Structure 1
Amino acid sequence: MKEFKVNMTRRFVQLASEIIRTKNDIIMLLLEAIPLLSFGEIVERPDNNYIVLRVDKMKRLFFVIDDKIYSFNFPFNVDVLPEVKNPVIYDSMTDLEITGVNHAVITTTFQEIFNGEENQGILDLDSDVMRILESFEQQPNKDQIWQILKKLLVFESGYLRYDYDVKLENGRLHPLHHLDINYTTGNTFKVGINNTINCVDFIDILDTGTNCYYISK
């Protein structure tokens, strides 16, 4: 099992506080988290707002901020090098490391293509993506970058959020403590829980290597 914790920057706290409504929101948050994990200070005891990358049978990012914790799938692989605390993040399909340069190209291309809009059909994007990738100087990994972008568009996010929601609490209709499953309006639903939970508890709920939790009336 590998676990990496890093404190959020002030800018990332603002980004992570925004409501997730689309797959594009998930992808952008994932892309923003990678430089913090690759180049930020890995800590044992993080501050109030932090990110956890957990890699074992599951690979997930966890975001701990204010009165909520949320998580989604991490679609890349991780290596640990001797004497280096930060994870080396790479794509197993292309074997391409998500270095600073590759990350910048992936992020810029994604932003230019989608610009906040929901995903188009992947086949329709081929010429547009390659046109943008050709504009980068000294970018020999165009095909690999496009493969990674396609992977991001289709990966299953497995989004789950824990909320301690004093503002909108409404008995059993909107419990004070609850889990939000999925993020789009048509698919999300809540599961009430009796007590507050911390990040360790939240990770345990999602950990397939530990005992299951039960839902009961």
Structure 2
Amino acid sequence: MKKKEFILDHYQIDDFFKPIRSKRDVIILLMKSIKLMLIGDITPIKEPSGHMYLIVSKMSRLFYVKKDKYFTIGFPFKVINNENRLEFYSSFNELKIDNQITSNVLALFPNKIFDLEIFFEDLYCQSESLRVLITSLITYEDGYIRYDCDPERKNGRLHPLNHYDLFYSSNTTFKLGLNKSLDIEKMIDCLSIETECHFIE
């Protein structure tokens, strides 16, 4: 499988485009994305608000797309297309990532203030396979990159209209200005290791 598209409604856009500030946010997004892909396109969305693309080739990434904003994270799972139904497996212990597993992972990262001590207590009570999965997700390289066209906060060369935001923690994030707008296919091409490199000039 090279590329699979999923249409997002405005509720999913609001959920998937919440700010990412930590690995916890990335893990939650991954689990919610897998839930969406497991369900598939059961009911057509009359007024799509955006798209999600799963691209698995020499790179493995999820791309999230809405007007004037795209972002991507690495996808750390093996993907099998079984009679047009996607199946996901951990690259670390071959655990099948189904709806139950995604729910178990999400339960460890509740939408409230994150308490590390409680997290490790809860993790200790899980099965060994789930502990291995969680540990691998905490340590995997997520490769977060976001493209913005941001007229509201445009500020010359300090905050260019069109730019990439690289990384998400306050200690490492930075912007890379662009001279023109960027479509999603250009961003995918830029990140692909199967096409020619792009240059910063």
TM-score normalized with structure 2 length: 0.89
In structure 2, what is the equivalent of residue 187 of structure 1?
A: 172
Out of 130, 133, 137, the residue aligned to residue 145 of structure 1 is: 130
Counterpart amino acid of residue 184 in structure 1: S
Superposed CA offset, 1:131-188 (max 9, x none): 2x3xxxxxxxx21111101111111111100000100111122111111111111211
Question: Superposition pairs for residues 1-217 of structure 1, below 5 Å?
Answer: 1-41=1-41, 47-82=48-83, 84=84, 86-111=85-110, 115-117=112-114, 125=120, 127-131=121-125, 133=126, 142-216=127-201
Alpha carbons 1:119, 1:153 under 8 Å: kept: no
Q: Give the aligned residue type for 2:79.
A: V
In the alignment, is the contact (CA less than 8 A) between 2:162 and 2:177 conserved in 1?
Answer: yes
How far is 1:35 from its partner?
Answer: 0.9
| Alignment partner, residue 137 of structure 1 | none
8 Å contact from structure 2 (residues 6, 41) kept in 1: yes
Counterpart contact for 2:22–2:168, Cα < 8 Å: yes
Q: Structure 1: which 4+ aligned runs deviate by more than 4 Å?
A: none
- Counterparts of 1:118 and 1:72, CA distance in 2: 25
**C-alpha contact (below 8 Å) 1:177/1:193 kept by paired residues:** yes
Task: Report the Cα distance in structure 2 between the residues aligned to 1:47 and 1:203, rounded to whole angstroms.
Answer: 21
Q: CA deviation at 1:193?
A: 1.1
- Deviation at 1:11? 2.8
Alignment root-mean-square deviation, CA: 2.2
Aligned to 1:136: none
Q: Secondary structure at the match of 1:214?
A: coil
CA contact (8 A) 2:10 2:48 kept: no
Long gaps (5+) in structure 1:
134-141
- Deviation track 1:21-62 (CA, whole Å, cap 9, x = no partner) reads 11111111111111111112199xx94411111111111111
**AA at the equivalent of 2:167:** N
Hey, what's the Cα distance between the residues in 2 that align with 1:164 and 1:6? 23
- Per-residue deviation, 1:118: 7.4
Q: Percent identity?
A: 31
CA offsets per residue over residues 93-144 of structure 1, 9 Å max, x none?
A: 22111111222112213339xx543767xxx92x53132x3xxxxxxxx211
The letter for the 1-side match of 2:15 is: L
Superposition deviation, residue 4 in structure 1: 1.1
Task: Figure out how many residues of one structure are paired with residues of the other and give that number.
Answer: 197
What is the TM-score when the length of structure 1 is the normalising length? 0.83
Q: Residues of 2 paired with 1:165 and 1:108: CA distance?
A: 34
CA distance 1:103–1:189, change in 2 (3 Å):
same
